[in-house]
Amino acid sequence: MATSTLETVSAYQYLKFEREGTLAVVTLNRPNRRNALSLDLMRELIDCLSAIGRDREIHAVILAASGNVFCAGHDLAEMTGKNINDYRQIFDICTDLMMKIQSIPQPVIAEVQGTATAAGCQLVATCDLAIASDKVGFATPGVKIGLFCTTPMVALSRAVGRKRALQMLLTGEMIDAATAADWGLVNLVVPAESLAQETRKLAQKVASASTLTIALGKQAFYTQIDLDQPKAYAYAKEVMSMNSLAADAQEGMTAFLEKRPPCWAGR
């Protein structure tokens, strides 16, 4: 697929794209296959996120899904009878997708209206923020079909910690939304009927900040998170020093001192 602009994403087969002011809403739209991550869907999502990342007018992204399931993981119809290079391609593209979510400057918020399992759970764990309906569950059930959820494990273990991740990975059992929030897999659980409203409320809070500051902060977070503490501080203090020179940082500090709303320039 050629690199798209946000004026051409309507051509996607398995995604819907909408703009709501400064928000982008990207909806997985393969409900007849439980929004499984086929190669084509993953490629479309990578392409769409790349286009969003280049658009300075978009301040935050909501990743939603149509139907009753958020995402059932990889499409098992594409997972049988393949050779090693076929499997490597599937997991390479999946890894590219997860890295793309965290590398674009805008925060990505998962709006989880239905069950998220295997790579679908990985997708939720990878998003910067997540809000879930109180009716949903999460699982990494690969162990039950002889295919351990090894790549979902990367995102899951970083979200919920070792013991909780291993409980999900080794048993394959479903956890409910309240447990997911308690463990840190999602930020917030809300009634199903208010999910869209609450997701947009959170997205608007994020979108109201300086786009430059948010982009710097998101990149810095993922860079420092796996460094040891001295290296993390060495990196973070340099980023914060550079951030302090930015026009938006100077404007924000001045506005605070002058007790007025800041006027962001995005630089």
Long-range residue pairs from 154-162, CB within 8 A, at least 24 positions apart, any chain: 154/98, 154/122, 155/98, 155/122, 155/125, 155/126, 156/121, 156/122, 156/125, 156/185, 158/125, 158/225, 159/125, 159/183, 159/184, 159/185, 160/125, 160/184, 160/185
Q: Pairing mode, if any, of strands 137-139 and 175-176?
A: antiparallel
Name which of 216, 10, 1 is nearest 107 in CA terms.
216
| Domain 211-257 in this protein, CATH class | mainly alpha
Global pTM reads: 0.94
Query: What is the location of CATH 3.90.226.10 in the chain?
Result: 9-207
**φ, ψ dihedrals at 221, nearest 5°:** -60, -50
Query: What is the location of CATH 1.10.12 in the chain?
Result: 211-257
pLDDT at 1: 45
Report pLDDT digits (tens) over 134-161: 999 999 999 999 999 999 999 999 999 9
pLDDT at 262: 95
Q: Is the pLDDT of residue 5 over 80?
A: no
Report pLDDT digits (tens) over 221-245: 999 998 999 999 999 999 999 999 9
pLDDT band at 201 (very low <50, low <70, confident <90, very high): very high
Q: Is the pLDDT of residue 2 over 50?
A: no
Distance (Å, rounded) from C-alpha 59 to C-alpha 139? 30
The superfamily (CATH) of domain 9-207 is: 2-enoyl-CoA Hydratase; Chain A, domain 1 (3.90.226.10)
